[in-house]
Structure 1
């Protein structure tokens, strides 16, 4: 009985720390080391006879509004101290685009 509970608590702590890892800032990356956002593929999808999604125009993804598609944003706390630090955007995980919520990434409605 006690063993089951301990392992459940362990699982909880494990998933909590992996969640925290997702939300922790990445270390600041020097600008020249930042490539193009690897992002979601913004190629138009083949939608066949399905009505194309008007929001993403069949791409299945839209530009991330938080970073305007750059995948990075300036840390405002650091900026207020006169230090410009670009961190990976948490909105899109640094990809520059997010899945279109209108079509769920399918490219059609």
Structure 2
């Protein structure tokens, strides 16, 4: 009986710590733009969507201070951001460039 109590005293804090780290990481990644990530704005044409609209490929104009004109993928901050936007639409958008290389849309709208 005592060995179970000893194991529980070790396992419970480890599990709680792991859960706290996982939750904290998810909050940061879902709101990356709010955590000091650089933001950029530009325009482009929607070329395609990923499965379930988890990302959108946009052929964008030059992004001053970031990237030449090309086609890149962007993650929506929320699924609702891409509602009403279709392939071929010209859009204006702002995104956050995260430290891990992701590009998270903060604003996207049809021109």
Interval of TM-score (by shorter of Structure 1 and Structure 2): 0.3 to 0.5
TM-score normalised by L of structure 1:
0.33
- The answer to which structure, 1 or 2, has the higher relative contact order (CA under 8 A, 6+ apart) is 1
> Counting strand residues as a fraction of each chain, which structure ranks higher?
2
> Counting helix residues as a fraction of each chain, which structure ranks higher?
2
